[in-house]
Amino acid sequence: MESSSLISFSLIFCFILFSLASNGVEARRPPSISYLISEGLFDSIFLHKDDNACPARNFYTYESFVQATKCFPKFGNTGNLATRKREIAAFLAQISHETTGGWATAPDGPYAWGLCFKEEVRPQSNYCDSTNKQWPCYPGKSYKGRGPIQLSWNYNYGPAGKALGFDGLRNPQIVANNSLIAFKTALWFWMTEQKPKPSCHDVMVGKYVPTEADLAANRTAGYGLVTNIINGGLECGIANDGRVNDRIGYFQRYAQLFNVDTGPNLDCENQKSF
C-alpha cells in the first residue's frame, strides 16, 4: 500500500503536470482519458485479465489506469481524434504483449489475454547493471520485469522512482504490489525520451524527428519504431519475428475496437536497434 507521504507526493506531482499542461494561460485540466476509453471498452480489450489463470487477477483495474493517466496529461490528448485513439491503442497493445497470457488457440484468440502477468516469472538474472553508478543496485534487490511495461534494470527503476515518488532502487517490488504505481511506471516509460531514443509518445503523435543516425538505421516513424524503443535489441532487424508479430496482432485488434487505422510501418524487421 502507498504511504500517506507517497500519496501526497503523487498528488503534488500530478498537480504540477496539470499546471504545466495549461501553458500558463488556462487553469483547467485536460479531459479525462475516460472520454476515449470507457470502462466497458477497457473490459472488452482485456477480456481475460481477471481470469483465475492469470497471476495478475484483479490487479490492473480501470480506475488505476485512468488515475495514472492524469499524471501524464499529454497522453491520449495530443493531436486529432484519430491520433489520440491510435496512441492509446498502441500503448495498450504494447503493454498487452509484455504481460500476455495468450496462446495461439486461446479462448477469444491470442490477443484477448493482455495484462495477465504483473511480474516476470522466471527472470534470467536480477537485472542489475553494476556499471551504472548513477543508479546503483541495492543489495538483495531484483530489477526484473514488473508492471504493464515490465519495467526492467536498475537504470530504469531508479529514474522512474525519482519521477513518480517512490524508491525504485530500494523498493522495486512496489511496481508489482501497487496497481496505480504499476500503471504510472508504464506511462512514464512511454512518455519519457531516453536519448538517443525518442519517446514512444512522440513517435505515435507525429512529433518524432529522425536524426542522421535514425535515417541510416531505417528507423521510420510508426508502431514498429515503438517496438524498437521498447525491445529493439532483441526483436528488431529480424524477419517475421514472432514477438514483433504478437505486438502487431494486439495493436490491430485494439485499433479495430477504437475504430481507427494503425498507420504505416508496423514492424521493425528492417530497422537497426538503438
Q: Rounded CA gap, 84 and 74, in Å?
A: 10
40 three-class SS: helix
136 three-class SS: coil
Q: Where are the alpha helices (DSSP H) in the chain?
A: 4-21, 39-45, 62-69, 81-98, 154-164, 179-191, 200-204, 212-216, 223-235, 242-258
Grid cell at residue 3 = 504511504
How many of the other CB atoms lie within 10 Å of CB of 180? 18
Q: For residue 97, which of 223, 259, 256, 233 has the smallest C-alpha distance?
A: 223
Distances (CA, A) of 73 to 13, 20, 30: 12, 9, 6
25 three-class SS: coil
Among candidate residues 2, 26, 39, 98, the one labeled active-site is: 98
Residue 39 known to be catalytic: no
Beta carbons within 8 Å of 256's beta carbon, 6+ residues apart: none
Catalytic residues: 98
